[in-house]
Amino acid sequence: MNYKNKIVLGVIAFTTLTLAKSVQAQDRSDKPNIVVIYVDDLGYGDVSCYGATDVQTPNVDRLAEGGIRFTDGHAGAATCTPSRFSLLTGSYAFRKNAAILEGDAPALIKPGTPTLPGMLQKNGYKTAVIGKWHLGLGDGNVDWNGEISPGPLEIGFDYSYLIPATGDRVPCVLVENHHVVDLDPNDPIQVSYKRKVGTDPTAIENPSLVKYPADYQHGKTIVNGVSRIGYMTGGNSARWKDETIPYQMLRKARNFIDESKQQPFFLYFAFHDIHVPRLPDLPFEGATDMGVRGDAIVQMDYITGELVNCLKDKGVLENTLIIFSSDNGPVLNDGYEDQAVARVGNHQPSGPFRGGKYSCLEGGTRVPMIAYWPKKILPGQVSDALFSHVDLYASIAQLLDYKLKENEAPDSHYSLETILGKEKEGRQFLLEEAYSYSLRYGKWKYIQPVKNANANGWIKDNKGIDSGISAVPQLFNLEEDPKEEINVADQNKKILNQIQKELQSIFTN
């Protein structure tokens, strides 16, 4: 990592204590608030500033106009848990075998692990996560009726308000700090991913009781008229209403910003939209011709606008760095027949790329990414720099003049200049994690072969998404072939070897 200590640090070492103190005080006042707005399953082509025409996202577009829009920004992985793991720890998901977790999975990031919020806390920030977690809770036998720990509060967040896993997984309750919200102790929650618990109906047994038909995996306990993955019973007073979740999140975010505005704060605002089940609230019904998926995008855009308005109203927008992005590429049918496929029309969720969520192709990880900071980022920029969310950790550390410790954020590169729009190249190599591994090297894209390529047939069969997986090495020239259709591995052996070597060195380092 080529980090250069700022000159001011050297100066401090040689001056009087008084001077050192005043410099530190000045540094502190310079610390911007940081808000990461992380949308779920939002594709490269799903917002109007990235080319969508069948859905309009004026609030997201305004962030792009006021800051930098990245054309080659990547989530760490093509699914949620691994992406979020690498965002928060600055290490690749494969190092921890991070894969999509069930709703009763234990905490994946153990207390003591260096994290982005933990690093910010040490640097005087107040930190919060509001929204989708999906990184596990508890130590293996989580009691939803008692104290839920460890979780975000044990790894650097001061406040948490969570959807524990995904909207389509039980338990369908919100967790604030260590406890389920609005739980009646006389109606305890029980959750199982193995067998039916209690007598609540399931869609498998009672298909007529649900709003949307679901596949078998999503056909278990019905909550709010929608069947989910997994079984739950009890907790009736605590069960969420999907339609109101974004508004509850917004209210909590407003409170947090209000209470924290005297000191620098970090807010990780993790949308549930536009993941399944898609249940946008009434005002957004029919906002697009695309049905609930399009309407959920409009709702997400509205909430984003309200969040920005809140920062403005509280007088802190000017010195807030907002990163707007998504945890992985798009998917239409992800378990429910909600008309997303039937009504997509000409809309291109992955923009000009092939693949989507679950896929090794660019559509898997290349997502909308915007950086906005009125005080430091010039408006109206477009950057083609290659950037991975795994680099946010080191880049934010750099912003605070904080030098990473050994073993802290091991895969995160200091890339502040890229985020600020001063550096246009970005990463030399960039790892994309999915059901195989891809490595970007400038215009080149390599996809590592897998032995049993057929095992991933479900991605195409169930999701209608090209997985990009093959039993032979694949190399694409994205400049000429952005859709990754012509394998040029045989014609470019030298590049192929170089990339393969680099990928091996990532795995063995």
Binding residues for Ca ion (CB under 5 A):
40-41, 80, 327-328
CB of 335 to ligand NG6, least distance (A): 4
Q: Which residue has the tokens 């907790």?
A: 235
Q: Is 100 in the site for ligand NG6 (CB under 6 A)?
A: yes
Nearer to Ca ion, 115 or 328 (CB): 328
Which of 35, 38, 60 is closest to 50 using CA atoms?
60
Q: Should residue 168 be labelled a site residue for ligand NG6 when binding is judged by CB under 6 A? A: yes
Residue 127 binds which of ligand NG6, Ca ion, none (CB < 5-8 A, kind-dependent): none
**Shortest distance, position 490 Cβ to ligand NG6, whole Å:** 34
- Number of DSSP helices (H) and strands (E) in the chain, helices first: 12, 20
Give the shortest CB-420-to-ligand NG6 separation in angstroms. 29
Which option in Ca ion, ligand NG6, none does residue 168 bind, with CB closer than 5 to 8 A by kind?
ligand NG6
Through-space distance between the first and last CA atoms of the chain, rounded to whole angstroms: 14
Nearer to ligand NG6, 100 or 310 (CB): 100
SS3 (DSSP) at 390: helix
DSSP symbol at 67 = S
Taking the complex as a whole, the smallest distance from the CB of residue 94 to ligand NG6 amounts, in Å, to: 16
Q: Judged by CB under 6 A, which of 52, 75, 80, 250 binds ligand NG6?
A: 80
Residue 85 C-beta: closest distance to ligand NG6, Å: 11
- Binder of residue 233, out of Ca ion, ligand NG6, none (CB less than 5 to 8 A by kind): none
Among residues 220, 228, 272, 275, the one that binds ligand NG6 under rule CB under 6 A = 275
Is 134 an interacting residue with respect to ligand NG6 (CB under 6 A)?
A: yes
Return the number of other C-beta atoms located less than 10 Å from residue 500's C-beta.
Answer: 16
Residue 494 is classified by DSSP as H
Binding mask 404-443 for ligand NG6 (x = CB under 6 A): ----------------------------------------
Phi/psi region, residue 83 (left: phi>0; alpha: psi -120 to 50; beta: rest), is: alpha
Asked if 76 and 83 count as a contact pair (C-beta separation under 8 A), the reply is yes
Residue nearest Ca ion, Cβ-based: 80
Supply the Cα-derived Rg of the chain in whole angstroms: 22
Q: How many CB atoms lie within 10 A of CB 5?
A: 9
Question: Residue 334 touches which of ligand NG6, Ca ion, none (CB < 5 to 8 A by kind)?
Answer: ligand NG6
Q: Which stretch binds ligand NG6 (CB under 6 A): 104-112, 149-157, 196-204, 327-335?
A: 327-335
Half-sphere exposure (CA, 13 Å, Cβ side) for 133?
A: 35
Backbone angles phi, psi at 297, to 5 degrees: -65, -45
Distance between CA atoms of residues 281 and 326, nearest Å: 21
CA 179/CA 174 separation, integer angstroms: 8
Name which of 41 and 72 has its Cβ closer to ligand NG6.
41
How far apart CA 459 and CA 469 sit, in angstroms, is 10
Burial (CB < 10 A; 0-12, 13-18, 19+), residue 509, is: exposed
Count of residues that bind ligand NG6 according to CB under 6 A:
15
Only segment of 190-198, 252-260, 328-336, 424-432 that touches ligand NG6 (CB under 6 A): 328-336
Q: 159-163 and 175-176 as β-strands: parallel, antiparallel, unpaired?
A: antiparallel
Task: Kindly list the residues in this chain that would bind ligand NG6 in the complex (CB under 6 A).
Answer: 40-41, 79-80, 100, 134, 166, 168, 217, 275-276, 328, 334-335, 462
